[in-house]
A = this chain, B = another copy of it.
C-alpha cells in the first residue's frame, strides 16, 4: 500500500499560487493537493479547469478551507497584506504552514506570526525564501560553510526585475512594503544565511531613484534602490534592486571572503544557446523570477512536505524571516528619511554612529 501523503491546501491562486498548486499536484510525490482557496473569480475559474478533475476541493472561504477533513498543511500564497492573518489562523487550526515571503511588511505583525508558531512547536511553519532551496545557492553555501573562501566578509546581492511598462509595479507598490522589503527581502535573507543568522546590524543606509516610474513616489517607493547594511564584527552586505532591467530578470549574489569569492548567477542565461549574429554574440536571459527559480520552488515544496511528514527540522528558522523584514523596513525608512540609521550591539537604535 502506498504511504500516506501530506494533505495540502493552497490559499491564493495568483501567479505564485497557481505554481504552488501545480507543484503540489504533480511534482511533489509525497504530497496531495486536496483543497485550494481563492476569493477571486478568475482564479476560481482556472481552478475549476485545472484542479477540480483531480479531486481538489475549491473554497471561496479561507476559514472553511481550514476545516477541510484531514488537512495537514497550508501554503499561503495570497496577497502580502493577509499573509500573517492566514498563517496565524492556520497555526491555530493546527496546520503546518508554508507562507510566501514576506510574512508581513510590518515588523510587529511578522513577529506575531513568529510568536504564534513558537507556541506550537510541533508544527512546521516556514517562510518561502525560495532561494534557500536553489541548487546553486546551496552549492555556494556548502563551499562557504566548509571554509572555501575563508571568512565571508562582504556580501553583495541584487534582485532586478525586467522593466514592465504597464505600470503594474506602481499599483503593486501600494501594498508591497517598498522595494527593499519586496525585492531585497530575498537578498537580506541570503545575507543572514551567508554572514551568519546571528549577525547584529550596526547601521543601515539606503538611497533610491525613480528613473522610469515617477508615480512610485506617491507610495514613497523607488524603481532603483541601493542599500548598505553594516554588521558588528566586521561584515558588510550591500544590495541593489531594480524594476527596469531591459534584458530580463537578473538576481545575483557575490560572497567575498578573506580567501576567495563566490558568485551565484553572475552571467544569467535562459537557455544554453548562443546566437552568433551579424552584430555580435548574444544570449537571452529569463524574463521572470520563476524562470530562474522554478526548480527551487519544486524543491521547497518537496522538502517542506518531507519535514512535515517526517517531523524533521526545517532547513532554516522562522526567526530569520522576522529579522529580514526588520532590516528591509529599516532600509525603506532610511530611503524615505534620507538618513543613516544606527543600532547598538543589543539591536537598539542609537542616534550617533558607534565607532
Contacts and interface: CB of A to CB of B under 8 A. Distances in A.
A240 interface: yes
Interface stretch (A62-70, A82-90, A201-209, A314-322): A201-209
Interface string A207-250: 11111100000000000101010100011101010101111100
Given A234-B210, A271-B135, A273-B263, A247 B280 contact: yes
B353 A224 contact: no
A259 interface: yes
Main secondary structure, interface of A, reads mixed
A242 B207 contact: no
Interface residues of A, number: 81
A73 to B, nearest CB: 19
Interface in A1-55: 1-3, 25-27, 29, 53-55
Contact of A245 (B55, B203, B261, B264): B261
A346 interface: no
Nearest to A158: B156
A84 to B, nearest CB: 31
Contacts of A148: 275
Interface in A137-177: 139-140, 143, 148-149, 151, 153-154, 156
A272 interface: yes
A156 B228 CA distance: 14
A354 interface: yes
Nearest to A244: B258
Given A3-B53, A205-B228, A209-B236, A264 B258 contact: no
A276 B258 contact: no
A236 to B, nearest CB: 6
Interface string A85-110: 00000000000000000000000000
What 5 pairs across the A-B complex have the smallest Cβ distances?
A: A338-B353, A26-B29, A261-B276, A136-B272, A280-B284
14 contacts: A136-B271, A139-B273, A153-B209, A207-B228, A238-B238, A247-B261, A247-B278, A247-B280, A262-B273, A265-B272, A266-B267, A338-B342, A338-B353, A338-B354
